[in-house]
Amino acid sequence: MIEEQNPWWISQELLLENEYYKKYLQSPNKWDPKIEEKLSLRPFSLNFIFGPRQVGKSTSLILLIKKLLDEKINPKSIFYFSCDKLADYKELDEVISMYLKFKKRERIKTSYIILDEVTFPKEWYRAIKFRIDKGDFNEDVLILSGSLSMEAKREIEAFPGRRGYGKTLIMLPLSFSSYIRIFGIDLPKGNLDFVLNNYFKYQAYLPKLNDLLELYLITGGFPNPIKDFIIEGKVRNATIFDFLSSIISDINKLKRSEKFFKLTVKAIIEKSSSEFSFQSISKEYGVGNVKTAISYVHLMEKLFILKVIEAIDVNDLRVLSRKQKKFYFIDPFVYSAFSKWTMSKALDESKLLEALVVSHLSRLFEVNYIKRDEELDITIRHGDELIGFEVKLGRVRKTLKVLGKMKKVFVLSKDTLDEGVIPVSLFLAMLDIPQFVEIMV
> 349-385: per-residue pLDDT in tens?
999 999 999 999 999 999 999 876 556 789 998 887 8
Q: What is the pLDDT of residue 374?
A: 58
Q: What is the pLDDT of residue 29?
A: 79
Q: How far apart are CA 86 and CA 89, in angstroms?
A: 8
* Choice between 252 and 237, residue whose per-residue pLDDT is larger: 237
DSSP string for 253-298: HTT--HHHHHHHHHHHHHTTTS-B-HHHHHHHH--SSHHHHHHHHH
Look at residue 167 and give its three-state secondary structure: coil
Residue 191 makes CB contacts below 8 A (sequence gap 6+) with 431, 432
> 282-303: per-residue pLDDT in tens?
999 999 999 999 999 999 998 8
Cα–Cα nearest to 395, from 370, 428, 421: 421
Domains within the chain, CATH numbers bracketed: 7-171 (3.40.50.300), 176-439 (no CATH)
The mean pLDDT value of the chain amounts to 92
Q: Which long-range contacts (CB under 8 A, 24 or more apart) does 363-369 make?
A: 363/172, 363/175, 363/433, 363/434, 363/437, 364/192, 364/431, 364/433, 364/434, 365/192, 367/307, 367/309, 368/309, 368/310, 368/311, 368/312, 368/319, 369/275, 369/309, 369/310, 369/311, 369/312, 369/326
> 38-96: per-residue pLDDT in tens?
999 999 999 999 889 889 999 999 999 999 999 999 999 999 999 988 999 999 999 99
Question: What is the reported pTM?
Answer: 0.91
